[in-house]
Amino acid sequence: MSLRLGDTAPNFKAETSSGDIDFYEFLGDSWGVLFSHPGDFTPVCTTELGRMASLNEEFEKRNVKILAVSVDSVEQHTGWIKDINETQNCTVEFPIIADEDHHVAELYGMIHPNASETHTVRSLFVISPDKKIKLTITYPASTGRNFIEVLRVIDSLQLTANHSVATPADWKHGEDVIITGAVKTEDAHQRFPKGVKIVKPYLRYTPQPNVD
């Protein structure tokens, strides 16, 4: 199954390191990050889950719940979490799905046969409170993900969901944003009282509207 931006994220029930969950119930009214791992007790995955654990407070600030997926068992997850906490100096509190039958991996297209017929690639999905897919990122198994970039994209998604703006290349929270084409220039000054900088008729900047 190939999921695309704007698609509804499939619901599922799964056994995890924190008990059984229903995905939609787990998310509730929160945003979600669902990300997969080729297997337990693997070096790159260990650093990734450790990094997510260290950033957990940042995700919580943004009302984002984290859920990992691996094709190994809950018993293996339990032992692996101990290793992650020890080696990465963190505390993994988010659940890890025990996807031994590949149900979630297949549901979300996390297995790419040309890369591996049995293990998930490093797929990551950002899901909005209305259960829509807002971001998909897929890395090869050999490359660890950049979770600061995931936070940056979530900042952009949450901003642009509520304001008629877009974010430019390399944008970070607090920087100027772009006024979308849906807003006429004559209306922009009233819509964005912090100021409007017109570079070209189609390229107009304004300070980020949701920060003081």
Token look-up 């984290």 returns 66
The rounded distance, in Å, linking the Cα atoms of 205 and 192 is 10
| Paired sense of beta strands 64-70 and 31-37, if any | parallel
- Which amino acid type is present at position 137? I
C-alpha distances in angstroms, 20 versus 17, 99, 113? 8, 12, 28
Q: What share of the chain is helix, strand, coil (3-state, %, to 5)?
A: 30, 25, 45
Length of the chain: 212
Tokens of 21: 């969950």
Positive or negative, the CA dihedral 46, 51, 57, 63 is: negative
Q: Residues 63, 170, 38, CA angle at the centre, nearest 5°?
A: 60
CB 31 within 8 A of CB 129: yes
Active site residues: 45
